[in-house]
Structures are given as C-alpha cells and as structure tokens.
Amino acid sequence: MAIKIFNAIVYLPIIVIFMIIGQIYFESYLDSFSRYNSILAIIISITYFIQELCLLQISFLNLTDLTFTMVLPITMLFRKKHSAIWWGLLAATPLLSSLYTAIIGINSFSNWWIWVLKSIFFVTICWILIKYVKLSIFTRYTMAIISLGIVDLLTQAIEGRLQAISVSAATLGLAIFLILEKNRYAIENKNKQKIKLLRKESVRDDLTGLLNYRALSQEISGLAKRQDIHNICIGALDIDHFKSINDRYGHFAGNEVLNTFSTTLRKRIHAAFPGHGYVYRFGGEEFSIVVTNYPITEIHTVLQDVEDFFNQQPIVTSEGMKIRISFSASLTNHLNGEILDDTLKRADRMLYSVKNNGRGWIVTDHYHKQSSSKDKE
C-alpha cells in the first residue's frame, strides 16, 4: 500500500512532468519545419494518444486510477499553442480513457453518461478560465487542475471506486504535480526572457541603442514580402570628419556626438514617417535609414532638415564643449527581387561619391527618376 501511495503522489507526477516537457519540445521541433496544419494536427494527436496509452498502462499497473490522464491536454491548452488541436484532445481524453477502462473490465459501459459529462465539464471550465477569468495564466491553470481533482473524486465516488490511493492521487499527487509544474513554468519563462534579451542585444548597437545590420537584414526581408509595402527607400549616412572630432575632443566626446546625432535622427525619422521609418547604426559614424511607402523626395526633405538643424546648432557635450557637425547621405530605392547587400552597396557608392565631392550634402539615385541634392558650399 505504501508503495502504491508513493507512486500516486510522487512517481506519476514526475512521469507527467516529463511527458509535458517532451510534448513541449516535440511541438517546438515540429514548428521548425512543418507548414501543413492538418499533418501537424495528425502527428500531435498520434503522439499524444501514444503517451496517454503509456500513462494508462502505468496508472493501471500501480493505481487503477485515471487522475493524471487529463493533465497533459489541460497543460498544453493553457500554453495557447495549437489550441484547436488541444481543445479536441481535451474533449476526447475522458471519453477514450473511460472507454479503455470499460474494455479491459475495470469500468462499466453503463457509466457512459459520466464520461460525457466529464468531457463537457472540462471543456467548459477550461473555456471559462482561458477566455473570461482575468487572473495570471498559472493561477487559472491551477484552478483547472484543482477542478480536475475534485471531479475525479466525485466520479470515482459515483462509480464506487473511491480508495485511499485514488484520493492520494487526486489530492497530494496533483499538489506535488503543481509544485513541479510551477518550477518548470518559472524556469521556462526565465529562459524565454534570457533568449528574448539575447535576441534584442544581438540586433541592437550597444552605444546608441539603434538597430544594427542584422536587424536591417531581417527587416528588409520581412518588408519585401508584405503586400502593403509598395516601395522601400534605403539611406546611407556618415558623419563628416568624425575622426578629427575624436582626435580633437576625445573619444568620450565623440560618443556623445554619436548619441546626440542618433537620437535626433531617430526622432525626426519616426515623427515624419510614423510606423514606416527605421534607423540603424552600422558601426563607427555610419548609419542607415529605411522608409517605406513614402516618396524619396519627402525623405530627402526630412534629411535636409536634420542637416540644417546640426548646421545651425552645435552639439554641447557634458563637459561644455560645443561641436558642430555635418553629415553626408545618399538615398536609393530597394528594387524588386534585389538582395539587400546590392542595395546597400549602391547606397554606399553614392555616399562616397558625396564625400569625395565636398561632403555635407544628400544625393538620390536615378531609380526614382528624380535627383535632388544640396549644392556644395
């Protein structure tokens, strides 16, 4: 008896936790290559029922109890991935597991109405907790698992199968499971935050906080596939004579110049092209902008305003030094089917033609069938 109770409150909760971990990673693996929802649903359903069959065999061997058979579909449903599949599996589980017990002689077919009510109850309770209850997801999940224990005890009482082992499984067993699941859930969320932070850091420039080349590559790839994007303009910018600023005022002052320039550029681009303007830093004094669905002439005008702003107003460092800057820029349209590197190389060539011819002005290319620039001074 002691071994069976141990199995009810320790062994089966651990087995179910491992099943949940396996299911989560299995679905992540499927998501990495599967594009067909119907095939994905079939694969998930088959693997789930194989797991359920194994769990039923372990349960009958140790407990003759079905408490934990509902835990996996409830858990996966609260993850909100492939929810349509898991709603169906949630509804089917009590029916099929009870049918299995009837076939092998543990249960009676005359109790079919209890199986149906149990199925309806759990679909309803999970639907209410997921759709309408405004609490943290783990609190709602805990409420669903507690409901599972209560209903399981009532079902066993009605069917005359209530024993010390089944009570242990539906109370202490589920309590131990919730403790294990809470820790697993916390670790998973912590790892997700770490991954999210690493991804954010991988596409952000440390000094200015602007997006970097990796982010630009990802953005252009995404924008080129969108039906609502009818043109993409890329600009290359370079602060003029930045090396001499570092040599004269020092690298800390140079960093302040980069920060002030990037902040001003970002604010002006975001304000002029809300939801359509993006600013990136490639390293050093080199920057890039991407603007969608706006004519190149409007983008040129905004950059010219930024140029005029810095011509009229020096940057004042924290040590009180006043530094005047200018920048050179080029604007070119990203062509359909063109790879990003080709667009950037064209913008870069145009930019260096500006720098070789006096600096401090903005050029646009012939792909827009227009060209406008600031006359050299």
Select which of 52, 181, 285, 307 is catalytic. Answer: 285
Closest listed residue to residue 202, CA positions, set 223, 187, 188, 217 = 217
Helices (H), 104-211: 112-131, 137-159, 164-168, 174-202
236 pairs with which residues across the strands? 288, 330
Strand partners, 235: 289, 331
- Paired strand residues for 327: 239
Cβ–Cβ < 8 Å for 365, 331: yes
Of 181, 115, 116, 123, the C-alpha closest to 147 is: 123
Tokens of 175: 């309590």
What gap in Å lies between CA 98 and CA 37, rounded to an integer? Answer: 29
In three-state secondary structure terms, 284 is coil
Count other Cβ atoms within 10 Å, centred on residue 325: 20
Strands 286-292 and 362-364: unpaired
The DSSP call for residue 36 is -
- Indicate the burial class of 257 (C-beta count within 10 angstroms; 0-12, 13-18, 19 or more): buried
Query: DSSP string spanning 210-273?
Result: -B-HHHHHHHHHHHHH-TT---EEEEEEEETTHHHHHHHH-HHHHHHHHHHHHHHHHHHHHHHS
Please say if 285 is a catalytic residue.
yes
Active site residues: 285
